Chain A
Amino acid sequence: GAVVSQHPSWVICKSGTSVKIECRSLDFQATTMFWYRQFPKQSLMLMATSNEGSKATYEQGVEKDKFLINHASLTLSTLTVTSAHPEDSSFYICSAPTGTVGSAFFGQGTRLTVV
């Protein structure tokens, strides 16, 4: 079935550097993708909605200049965490809607650790 692939699955970076996370839809096109953040033992929190060919829509409280989203093609969305700090350490997950209203395929997640 359709799969959403996320890369990398984990990354460790130094404080102040930027990290790019890729989310690809395999075997299907996704005009919309969603980016979530998940802290330990907590649920997923929607950060932004990525729209192919246009600007992303950010949820309240999410800094758009810090979390840069690019959705340049129908199969790829990227999230760049700029000037990362230790408090940005988290589990980042992307998803893409399926053909069923309200349903989505999720990527395998990216564990970001900022040291």
Chain B
Amino acid sequence: KNQVEQSPQSLIILEGKNCTLQCNYTVSPFSNLRWYKQDTGRGPVSLTIMTFSENTKSNGRYTATLDADTKQSSLHITASQLSDSASYICVVRGTNAGKSTFGDGTTLTVKP
């Protein structure tokens, strides 16, 4: 069964600090991996999308990495802001039937 596991489940950091969120997956064969930010009570918003051949991709203060060999991805947030408080969801799409598997998300809280 395809799985996407995210860690930690929740994280609290101080404003200005950096943090890294992890995503491990078993989806195979693999098409792409996406990171979304979901504010409470809102729909997810795309941060990055990475294909098999990409190792890193940045979007402002967000940098995603991908190791397709070990099936691991990380999302690094630099100089965190209060507005970064949200749930971050890792989604992996397989090539078989194009199904996407959602991780349970990491809830990030940035405190002043």
Contacts and interface: CB of A to CB of B under 8 A. Distances in A.
Interface stretch (A14-22, A69-77, A82-90, A102-110): A102-110
Given A102-B34, A103-B34, A103-B49, A108 B43 contact: yes
Contacts of A46: 100
A100 B105 CA distance: 23
A54 interface: no
B42 A101 contact: no
Contact of A106 (B45, B104, B105): B45
A108 B43 CA distance: 4
Contacts, number: 45
Mostly, the B contact residues are: strand
A95 B49 CA distance: 16
Given A43-B104, A44-B89, A44-B102, A100 B44 contact: no
A29 B99 CA distance: 21
Interface of A: 4, 6, 41-46, 91, 93, 95, 100-109, 111
Interface of B: 31-32, 34, 36, 41-46, 49, 89, 93, 98, 100, 102-105, 107
